[in-house]
Amino acid sequence: MKEKLYIIKIGGALIDDEELLTQFLEQFSEIQEKKILVHGGGKLATTLADKLGIEQKMINGRRITDKETLDIVTMVYAGGINKNIVEKLQQKKCNAIGFSGADGNLIKAKKREHPEIDFGFVGDITKKSVNRKLVSKLIKLDLIPVFSAITHDRKGNLFNTNADTIASVMAQAMSEKYEVELLYCFDKEGVLEDVDDPESVIRSVTEEDFTVLKEEGKLHKGILPKLENALGAIKNNVEKVFLIKETELKNHIENHHAGTEICL
Ligand SMILES: Nc1ncnc2c1ncn2[C@@H]1O[C@H](COP(=O)(O)OP(=O)(O)O)[C@@H](O)[C@H]1O
Ligand SMILES: CC(=O)N[C@@H](CCC(=O)OP(=O)(O)O)C(=O)O
């Protein structure tokens, strides 16, 4: 039987809230099984870019990343946010170790090619991009890898890669050896029928449901790439995938159901 591995992704809103982040990391540190944390931080990068007067543009949930923006996101994701999370976990006696995809050649990417749009330094990844041998070794040593949204091509380029995609692809790659449960933790209770009504959680979402919800105009902005990545994971042998509220992590781990389950 395969050993259980949690791959947990956190994003912008949580990272911006020091108290909420500390509470979340306390719940994360209590998980007894093997675990990996993947974080974004898009909101903080946008705030810093605004302060520096560097205009930001998102297309299909991806940030157009020119050289100046790449410098910002590298500092923000692989620098400040990553080290802050690692230190908070160390405080909880959780032996976290922070990485970008360039460290140990852990995640290799290819520049995103698009016929009309130049995304700049945006990297696309597949499950072959993940150095799963090294990731396995790290978790066997009882280290807790913490991944930022920075990848590389081993040809001198760093890339900005959507953190939801990194979590999905990491989960797919690690599913060959582990029974992976992928958890997208965010600021809503799950996928909501009505985004303004926290009681309207949809308990399970399939690809068909996704298409219908999209057509009905019930999904906007960040939830779209999140669901695409979540569906990509469940279709590629990841055992379980959920979208849950950040504050529900402990409840989910103990009771095995909070938020929305992504189903085949
Ligand atoms: N139907 C929906 N259910 C839940 N969230 C939704 C829905 N439609 C739009 N959203 C938005 O998607 C957001 C989550 O995406 P995003 O902000 O990118 O998260 P993160 O930064 O954590 O990756 C929610 O905060 C919410 O505003
Ligand atoms: C290419 C691309 O768009 N990368 C994302 C990476 C950060 C991210 O995914 O942050 P959240 O999870 O907080 O949204 C960005 O720069 O916004």
Q: Please identify, by atom number, the ligand 1 atom nearest to the C-alpha of residue 193.
A: 1
How many domains, the chain? 1
- Choose among 231, 199, 200, 198: nearest CA to 216: 200
Question: 239 CB contacts (<8 Å, ≥6 apart)?
Answer: 175, 179, 180, 181
**Residue 152 confidence (pLDDT):** 98
Query: Domain containing 199 — which CATH number?
Result: 3.40.1160.10
Closest Cα to atom 22 of ligand 1: 11
**Distance from C-alpha of 162 to C-alpha of 51, rounded to nearest angstrom:** 22
pLDDT tens-digit map of 1-30: 999 999 999 998 899 999 999 999 999 999
Provide mean pLDDT across the span 78-96. 98
Q: How far is the CA of 42 from the centre of ligand 2 (A)?
A: 5
**Which atom of ligand 1 is found nearest the CA of 42?**
21
pLDDT in tens, 100-143: 999 999 999 999 999 999 999 999 999 999 999 999 999 999 99
Nearest ligand, CA of residue 14? 1
Binding site for substrate, by residue number, is 41-42, 63, 160
- Above 90 in pLDDT, residue 221? no
Residue 83 to residues 30, 92, 145, 147: CA-CA distances in angstroms?
20, 14, 12, 10
Statement: residue 258 has pLDDT above 90: no
- Residue 46: phi and psi, rounded to 5, are -65, -40
Are the C-beta atoms of 10 and 40 separated by less than 8 Å?
Answer: yes
Which residues are bridge partners to 179 per DSSP?
4
Domain span at 88: 3-262
Mean pLDDT, rounded, for 237-260: 94
Ligand 1 neighbour 228 (Cβ under 6 A): no
pLDDT at 190: 97
Q: What is the pLDDT of residue 60?
A: 83
User: Measured in angstroms, how far is the CA atom of residue 159 from the centroid of ligand 2?
Assistant: 11
What does the pLDDT read at residue 42? 97
**Residue-wise pLDDT tens digits, 164-213:** 999 999 999 999 999 999 999 999 999 999 999 999 999 999 999 999 99
> Which residues carry a binding-site annotation?
41-42, 63, 160
